[in-house]
Structure 1
Amino acid sequence: MQCLSFNLNSSAQSFPSSPQSQHQSQTHPNGLNSCPPPNSQGNSTDETPRSSTTQLSPSFNLTDEYTRALQTNSYNEIRSRIEDQVHVENSIETDGMEDSYQLSLSQVLHPNRESVHQALRHTDPKATLTRLVSTYFDHSESISTLCLELYKCISNARFLYGPVTELLQVFPNELSSINHSQCDWAFDIFLKFNSLDNPFPSPDSHNFNEMRRSFSQLKEQLDQRLHKSRSRGRILDRAMTRSAICLIGTVLGVAVTAVVISTHALAAIVGLFATPLCPIYVPSRVQKKHIAQLDAAASGSFFHIKDLDTIVCLVAWLHDSVERDKELIRFGLERGRDIYPIHEVVKHLRNNHGKIFDQLKELEEHICLCFNAINKFRGKLLEQIHLHQYTDS
């Protein structure tokens, strides 16, 4: 039942946190990244990400935004695709696990790895832009791998809690109504629950923070490159303005001078003023295309970090909740099949059971939203790369 290890080597658009996640604690006791504030992942209803610096208007309704995000065609398509692949993988023997994993990822990750490699094959591998873009594609694939594995963990968690759900539906609330047959049934369910591993990875023992750190470093590098490119563009714009002013002054000077000097001298003056003193700078089309690619990768990185924060927070809560339930059940098992301790264990399980399934549903939604954002930004970046290649050919 234990999901595969998430100690991954870090290889748009995002969506608002669900209303429920606003009530979670902002800092995990184990030092995890805190859950992002509700307005850090806001999106417009047309699935276009809001600027990270944009303040939400007073009329912004987080619940409505989140509901709309879950109703988009792209969300429903990616969710259906993920569910199909998880179902297929669960039916495949573990001997073919690696092959089935690659198959599943290729089915839900678009553009897939092969499409990206084909596009990057026509770029300069030593160029800084190529390195940054390639790193973004690798990191986004790593998050996709994580999301796919966590989706399987959700399926495993529902399997783990299935018998407990059945028990809670029929087990009496009143101590006086419980019989020994029901106690035996509950005890057997507790034994089964205790024998299975926690389906969720411990944030302490897996490399969630390493993945976030890698994306944060990439975002910083992309921002620095964007700043440098845009500064260079502004310098060229100012140079063009000065050149235009200089040229106008030259023409006026030539016009005045033409009144008093000969035609041959006029040509010499035009050459003197216009050529060495007033060079004209033309902005590079290539530079603008590079900025478009950097901007797409930087925007994607920003939103993926926010999505990862939310997902890690939910996984941490679910992992800890399962551990608490296992500890509670072990407490009951140690006291045998007596009615009173079993009644107490069932009572405490009942108090937290609904919340666990709410959080499973929310994690499932955020994984699909994250996948949707990954595919959107990968597609946007690949489109910019192709546009660059086609216009230069």
Structure 2
Amino acid sequence: MLDFFDLSAEASNICSHLLKNINQIQSSYQFIRAVLSSIDDYSPDKLNLIVSELYSFTVKTNPFSTPNKHDFTLINGRYSSVLTHLKSKRRNVARKMKIIAYIHKASGICMTAACGLIAISAVVIAAHTLTALVMGPAILSFPLKRVKKKLLSFKFLRSRFLRKVGQQLDVAAKGTYILNRDFDTMSRLVARLHDEVEHDKAMIRFCLERKEDKFSLQVMKELKKSDSGFRKHVEELEEHVYLCLLTINRARALVIEEMTASSIEHLSCYNNT
């Protein structure tokens, strides 16, 4: 279970890092967008400043370089490993529950017979002693049903405890599976945006190197046209990151809720014994 919480914490940090990257690229493209919309209206001095800013953008590290494809592959590998471990634990719990259920069923029959034999033997032994008149009623009144209930109750509580553990493992496994799937999707979205940013940087660099070239002006127009598609892709990634954070928080809350309910119920049953 600790692996699940460690993994979800790591996933949360990655999502926070991606949100920072998204904010950074949105800020950069907001400037580029403003330049493209009114590039003919600037004075020569202003244009020199803009050229400097655009060049700075082309040499900056791509915000979507981290986490890269290799990083996501490692993350998905960890998710798969934890998911396999949780499923294995769940199978072990289910197997133990079956064994306990079998013992519980068998012990019910044996307990009844054993309690009866103990009572009869005790009465027979007491009948051959001088204290038969005193011990007989006391032995017959011995709370055998209570002893039986106590012993069987222990097994029942044990089975119920395992059932709660199984529920916790189910919730954790489901959350891990969803996170693994979400991060697989995010890896593709990040890779696509990384390639788009690199493409735009190359186009801007081309235009800066050929200021008076008519073809460079056409490239700038194409860059402006592709801006709407790029913004849509950024928004898609941003939405997916927020949904992933929501999934992380919901999964952690459900696991904690199951653990808390199990602890309270176990403590309540212990106090009643």
Do the aligned partners of 1:198 and 1:319 also contact (CA within 8 Å) in 2?
A: yes
CA displacement, residues 38-71 of structure 1 (integer Å, 9 cap, x when unaligned):
xxxxxxxxxxxxxxxxxxxxxxxxxxxxxxxxxx
Equivalenced residues, count: 230
One-letter amino acid of the counterpart of residue 316, structure 1:
A
The CA distance in 1 between the partners of 2:42 and 2:254, in whole Å, is 62
Do the aligned partners of 1:202 and 1:319 also contact (CA within 8 Å) in 2?
A: no
In the TM superposition, what is the alpha-carbon distance from 1:369 to its structure 2 partner?
0.6
Q: State the TM-score, normalized to the length of structure 1.
A: 0.51
Alignment correspondent of 2:264: 390
Alignment correspondent of 1:139: 7
Pick closer, same or farther for the CA change 1:303–1:139 going to 2, 3 Å.
same
Pick closer, same or farther for the CA change 1:179–1:150 going to 2, 3 Å.
closer
Pick closer, same or farther for the CA change 1:352–1:200 going to 2, 3 Å.
same
Q: 2:251 aligns with which of 371, 377, 389?
A: 377
CA displacement, residues 149-205 of structure 1 (integer Å, 9 cap, x when unaligned):
100101100111112211333458xxxxx9996994774553242133211125547
Pick closer, same or farther for the CA change 1:390–1:163 going to 2, 3 Å.
same
Larger radius of gyration: 2
Q: 1:209 aligns with which of 73, 76, 96?
A: 73
Do the aligned partners of 1:180 and 1:339 also contact (CA within 8 Å) in 2?
A: no
Pick closer, same or farther for the CA change 1:347–1:182 going to 2, 3 Å.
farther
1:170-249 superposed matches below 5 A? 170=38, 184=47, 187-188=51-52, 190-202=54-66, 204=68, 207-237=71-101
The CA distance in 1 between the partners of 2:45 and 2:204, in whole Å, is 16
Pick closer, same or farther for the CA change 1:342–1:183 going to 2, 3 Å.
farther
Q: 2:31 aligns with which of 163, 187, 190?
A: 163
2:180 aligned with 1:305: yes
Q: State the TM-score, normalized to the length of structure 2.
A: 0.72
2:230 aligned with 1:359: no
Do the aligned partners of 1:140 and 1:374 also contact (CA within 8 Å) in 2?
A: yes
Pick closer, same or farther for the CA change 1:179–1:370 going to 2, 3 Å.
closer
The CA distance in 2 between the partners of 1:201 and 1:179, in whole Å, is 33
2:167 aligned with 1:292: yes
The CA distance in 2 between the partners of 1:242 and 1:179, in whole Å, is 90
Do the aligned partners of 1:183 and 1:338 also contact (CA within 8 Å) in 2?
A: no
Pick closer, same or farther for the CA change 1:228–1:192 going to 2, 3 Å.
same
Alignment correspondent of 2:20: 152
Q: CA RMSD in A?
A: 3.4
The CA distance in 1 between the partners of 2:69 and 2:4, in whole Å, is 25
Identical residues among aligned pairs (%): 28
Q: Which moved more, 1:196-205 or 1:207-216?
A: 196-205
The CA distance in 2 between the partners of 1:140 and 1:287, in whole Å, is 24
One-letter amino acid of the counterpart of residue 190, structure 1:
L
Do the aligned partners of 2:207 and 2:220 also contact (CA within 8 Å) in 1?
A: no
1:1-393 superposed matches below 5 A? 133-170=1-38, 184=47, 187-188=51-52, 190-202=54-66, 204=68, 207-237=71-101, 282=156, 284-335=159-210, 337-393=211-267
Pick closer, same or farther for the CA change 1:304–1:235 going to 2, 3 Å.
same
